[in-house]
């Protein structure tokens, strides 16, 4: 199988977990390459529902090797809880879960800074998940972070933790009048975590190199979505990592010549959780209807997701920045009851038409979307098992998406369960 990157083409929560779960049987390795436990990948199989935050979604399939790459930020407490949750449901990760020794570690001060910074921003907040993701990446880029490999070396860990605490406590006191953290408490807590996870910590770069040499196949599991990417997204309303396909290389230690294909996942409409511009956001009634039909509540924070029409302008940008050759459309069934459906094709701002997705937050916040309207299909699609059997208006809607994006749809999902999806040949 070709080595493939699966990325979200909107603002996250597109259903990547399900797509990766469907792909996994044909692959040997599943690799997370960025983000942390801000992600919430939901996979439903029969009556069992799994929400994964850090462990790659491929873990639900026996014998598949799951890797948390160098580009991921790991909260060891969250990781241990997730491993325990999986064990309690009969899924054993021993011998097939590996964490890069280069992955950075999230500490309690990261979570606290995330929370205090958001509170201080008031109305200008980003709406983060408060998991400490941004502050941990900030330390990594500032070259003061602590990696998994540092946790394994007592001398290095002690030194770096002391340095970090002296800086963080000063910031916390000065800017937020927060009491700060004690070295002994964090040190002993993290030594405890380290002892529980050290068996998983390895040089995943060498491991993946060997896999590539042996012609094993790899799925790179993107978290969040293209427009939350720190470089390509709706900055500053973004996460702090490269959630686009380019991030797969640096974040896994696998070079670009070893990656064959990029698949984007899109919802049949759009959602966003957290603050930031969202040109096609629904007015109140429709928002409530789609939110409740689509179960649009954050898998990590439980926050209600903002919902809106499909935005072809937004996804066209994703096709470009990720080099996608194919997309998977999820949650088509959520639109089943609507009498008419809109797609945004461009934006208008101060008499100027924007066909390309603008970077200026002012334009994005105040623009007026230009829509094309289509007849709904008003039929249940949740039991449909092939493209050919879809109602003709649903096919017309999907063909229009392909036309506007100039990209083919390879897979359609019509419900949460593994069985509710089909490939288009
Ligand atoms: P952070 O990643 O917690 O710093 O949050 C930054 C922004 O990304 C916020 O708007 C979050 O709601 C959003 N975000 C982070 N992770 C996800 C995700 O997995 N799905 C959707 N939005 C996310």
The 10s digit of each residue's pLDDT in 333-377 is 999 999 999 999 999 999 999 999 999 999 999 999 999 999 999
Ligand 1, pocket-test mutation among 6, 34, 273, most atoms within 8 A of CB: 273
Atom of ligand 1 nearest to the CA of 223: 19
Per-residue pLDDT band at 155 (split at 50, 70, 90): very high
Tell me the catalytic residues: 13, 41
pTM (two decimals): 0.96
Per-residue pLDDT for 112 more than 90? yes
Atom 19 in ligand 1: residue holding the nearest Cα: 39
Chain-centroid distance of CA 271 in Å reads: 13
Q: Supply the pLDDT for residue 250.
A: 97
- 299 CA to centre of ligand 1 in angstroms: 11
Is the CATH number of domain 104-196 3.40.430.10?
no
Burial of 293: CB neighbours in 10 Å, binned 0-12, 13-18, 19+: middle
Distance CA 63, CA 59 (A): 8
pLDDT attached to residue 334: 98
Least reliable range by pLDDT among 48-52, 230-234, 402-406? 48-52
pLDDT band of residue 224 (cuts 50, 70, 90) is very high
Query: pLDDT at residue 47 above 90?
Result: no
| Rounded to 5°, angle at Cα 415 from 370 and 5 | 75
What is the band of 319 on the pLDDT scale with cuts at 50, 70, 90? very high
Confidence of residue 308 (pLDDT cuts 50, 70, 90): very high
Hey, whose CA ends up nearest to atom 12 of ligand 1? 274
Domain 4-100+201-263 sits in CATH at: 3.40.440.10
| pLDDT band, residue 269 (cuts 50/70/90) | very high
Ligand 1: which residues within 6 Å by Cβ?
A: 12-13, 38-40, 126-129, 131, 133-134, 223-224, 228, 237, 239-240, 273-274
Tell me which residue of 347, 283, 274, 275 sits closest to 311, measured CA to CA: 347
Domain with CATH 3.90.170.10 in the chain: 265-423
Q: Across all residues in the chain, what is the average pLDDT?
A: 96
Helices (H), 13-93: 16-23, 76-88
Whether 46 has a pLDDT exceeding 80, the answer reads no
In the chain, list all ranges with CATH 3.40.440.10: 4-100+201-263
The arithmetic mean of pLDDT across residues 37-66, rounded, is 89
In the 8-state DSSP scheme, what is residue 128? -
Per-residue pLDDT for 41 more than 90? no
The CATH 1.10.300.10 portion of the chain extends over 104-196
User: Which residue's alpha carbon is nearest to atom 21 within ligand 1?
Assistant: 12
Q: What is the pLDDT of residue 3?
A: 96
Mean pLDDT, residues 211-217: 97
> Which of 33, 139, 224 has most ligand 1 atoms within 8 Å of CB, for mutation?
224
What superfamily in CATH does domain 265-423 come from?
Adenylosuccinate Synthetase, subunit A, domain 3 (3.90.170.10)
Q: What is the pLDDT of residue 23?
A: 92
Give pLDDT, residue 268. 98
pLDDT average, residue stretch 213-220:
97
Question: The tokens 């039991």 sit on which residue?
Answer: 383
Closest-lying ligand 1 atom to the alpha carbon of residue 276:
10
């Amino acid at each position: 199988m070709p080595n493939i990157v699966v990325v979200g083409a909107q603002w996250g929560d597109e259903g990547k977990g399900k797509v990766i779960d469907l792909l996994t049987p044909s692959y040997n390795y599943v690799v997370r390459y960025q983000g942390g436990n801000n992600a919430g990948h939901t996979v439903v199989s029969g009556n069992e529902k799994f929400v994964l935050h850090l462990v790659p979604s491929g873990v639900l399939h026996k014998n598949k090797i799951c890797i948390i790459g160098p580009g991921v930020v790991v909260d060891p407490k969250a990781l241990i809880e997730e491993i325990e949750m999986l064990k309690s449901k009969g899924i054993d990760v021993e011998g097939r879960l590996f964490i890069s020794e280069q992955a950075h570690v999230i500490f309690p001060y990261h979570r606290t800074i995330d929370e205090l910074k958001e509170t201080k921003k008031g109305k200008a907040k980003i709406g983060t998940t408060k998991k400490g993701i941004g502050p941990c990446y900030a330390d990594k880029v500032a070259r003061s972070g602590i990696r998994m490999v540092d946790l394994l070396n007592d001398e290095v860990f002690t030194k770096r933790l002391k340095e970090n605490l002296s800086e963080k406590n000063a910031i916390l006191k000065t800017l937020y009048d927060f009491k700060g953290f004690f070295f002994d408490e964090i040190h002993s807590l993290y030594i405890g975590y380290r002892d529980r996870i050290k068996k998983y910590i390895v040089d995943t770069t060498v491991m993946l190199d060997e896999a590539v040499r042996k012609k094993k196949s790899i799925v790179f599991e993107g978290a969040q979505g293209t427009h939350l990417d720190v470089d390509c997204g709706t900055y500053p309303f973004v996460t702090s990592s490269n959630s686009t396909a380019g991030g797969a290389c640096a974040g896994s230690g696998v070079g670009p010549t070893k990656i064959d294909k990029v698949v984007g996942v899109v919802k049949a409409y759009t959602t966003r959780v957290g603050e930031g511009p969202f040109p096609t956001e629904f007015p109140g009634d429709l928002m409530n209807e789609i939110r409740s039909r689509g179960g649009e509540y954050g898998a990590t924070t439980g926050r209600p997701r903002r919902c809106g029409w499909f935005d072809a302008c937004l996804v066209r940008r994703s096709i470009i920045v990720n080099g996608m050759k194919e997309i998977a459309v999820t949650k088509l069934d959520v639109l089943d009851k609507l009498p008419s459906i809109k797609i945004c094709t461009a934006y208008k701002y101060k008499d100027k038409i924007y066909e390309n997705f603008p970077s200026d937050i002012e334009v994005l916040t105040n623009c007026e979307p230009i829509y094309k309207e289509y007849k709904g299909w008003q039929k249940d699609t949740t039991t449909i098992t092939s493209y050919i059997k879809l109602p003709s208006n649903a096919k017309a809607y999907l063909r229009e998406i392909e036309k506007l994006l100039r990209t083919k749809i390879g897979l359609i999902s019509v419900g949460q369960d593994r069985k509710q999806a089909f490939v288009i040949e």
